[in-house]
Each structure stands twice: as C-alpha cells, then as structure tokens.
A = this chain, B = another copy of it.
Amino acid sequence: MTYCIAVSVDEGLVLTSDSRTNAGIDNVSIYSKMHVFATLEDRKLILLSAGNLATTQAVVEQLRRDKRENALVNLNSMQYLSEAADYLGRVSIEKQKRHTEEGGQSSFNATATFIIAGQVGAEPPGAYLIYAEGNSITTSRQTPYLQIGESKYGKPILDRFVKMSTPLDEAGLCSLISMDSTIRSNASVGSPVELLVYRKDSFCFEEYYCFDADDEYLLLLKRRWHEELRNAFIALPHYDRSLAKPLRDGL
C-alpha cells in the first residue's frame, strides 16, 4: 500500500508521500514514490505513484524515455497540465495491460494510480489524480486536495483544515498529520516521509524535506499531536446521563 497527498491552494502546492512498498506482508521495501523530471524552464512537474511497483516503474521509465527521445508527445511538449494527465493515463493503461495480458494470473493486480502536479507556462499550479482506468480528476476550490493509496484514515483532518486560503506551511503540517494517522493505522504505509512545497510561479523545487522514522521533528510532532488530541478530548462536554432511557426489550 501507499499514501500520497497533493494539496493545491492559492499559494501553491504541497506534495507528501510515504516510502513503503510491499509484495505480500513478508516482502517490504523502501522506494520513493515522488518522481521529479528534468524539464524545460517554463514548467516544473512532479509525479506521485501508488499501486503495482512494476507498473509505476515502467510508467516513470517511459515518461523519461519519451522526454529524452523528444517523442511527439512528452512532458516537454505539453502546454497544459491536463495534457500531461491525459498522456500519463494512456501510458499507465498501456503498461498495466502489457503486464496483465502477458501471463498475468487471475489474482495478479497490475493497476496503479498517479498524481501529477506542478506548473506549466502561464497556467496556475495544479494537480491531477490519474485513476487506474486512465481518466483523471483535478482539485476544486471546495476540495483543494487529492489522495492516492490508503486515503481514508488521513482524510478527516484534510477535510477539516485545508482550504484554498490555507498557507503552504499549514498545509504541509496538515499533510504530515494526515500521514501520521495513516502510518499509525496501516502497517503497509511507512517512512521515510517526503514533503515537497512548491510556491506559485517559482518554477523551482527548493523546499524539500525527507523525514526518516527516527527524525526528531517527526517524533516530536507525533507526540505533541497525541497530547493535544488528548487535551481536546478531555475538554469535550459529556452527554447528560439523566437523559438516558431504558432500552425496551425486543421480542
């Protein structure tokens, strides 16, 4: 499993990813799921990947090769981020099919999902989620984030605190908390945690963090969040026991 988040707010983008991959519970490895591409100066693109590792590696390799060979369609030829999403969807479908048709067993799952984010030319920064079927969605002002992989545990905190006006620092903090909740609940999501902050119109990836499992800041953040939650919980009003009723017996 995997957990990646892309937050797309007024100030720019925040990308977060875990680094655990597993082929069965007894075969766990560390792979970065944050892929950056050397592109022309008028664009900056970052890819987050989830799902079958062979598929995601094949897709990343194809994107790099198309770019190097200056193929008709490649990451340098795009004028819009949505074009990159379409292109990525086509490549993903192609790679998934190849592995499934060429001797895949019935239980074999070659599917993968991606997030492509960044800024192309005069467009504002953005992010697209590419489903295993190759179609894609982007964010909205009401829902300024996308998730791939194990999305449920970490969703409530994003829903509560990420708005279009949220500063990048705060969106980064919220993403780390969302990642912490997910790592706590799903053993197949794990550190190092990568965090990339992209400021609108900067066209550079200067603010990148990689937090190992024993990173002092990450440990402090986990502990403090747990303590703060505990305090929040203790401060809650109790229900009034005088309003309790007996539950009448059924038949």
CB within 8 Å of B: which residues of A? 34-38, 46, 64, 68, 152-153, 155-157, 159-161, 169, 172-174, 176-177, 181, 184-185, 195-197, 204-210, 217, 220-221, 224-226, 228-233, 235-241, 243-251
Contacts and interface: CB of A to CB of B under 8 A. Distances in A.
Contacts of A221: 236-237, 239
Given A37-B250, A156-B184, 14 more contacts: A36-B249, A64-B251, A153-B156, A157-B233, A159-B184, A161-B230, A161-B233, A197-B244, A205-B246, A206-B246, A225-B232, A225-B236, A228-B236, A229-B232
A116 to B, nearest CB: 14
B68 A155 contact: no
Nearest to A243: B209
A206 B246 CA distance: 4
Contacts of A36: 247-250
A240 B215 CA distance: 12
Contacts of A205: 246-247
Select the residue from A46, A157, A197, A244 with max chain B CB neighbours within 10 A: A244
A185 B247 contact: no
Nearest to A244: B207
A233 B37 contact: no
9 contacts: A37-B250, A38-B251, A64-B251, A173-B236, A205-B247, A206-B246, A208-B246, A221-B239, A224-B235
Nearest to A248: B36
A248 B208 CA distance: 9
Nearest to A180: B156
A37 B244 contact: no
A222 B37 CA distance: 44
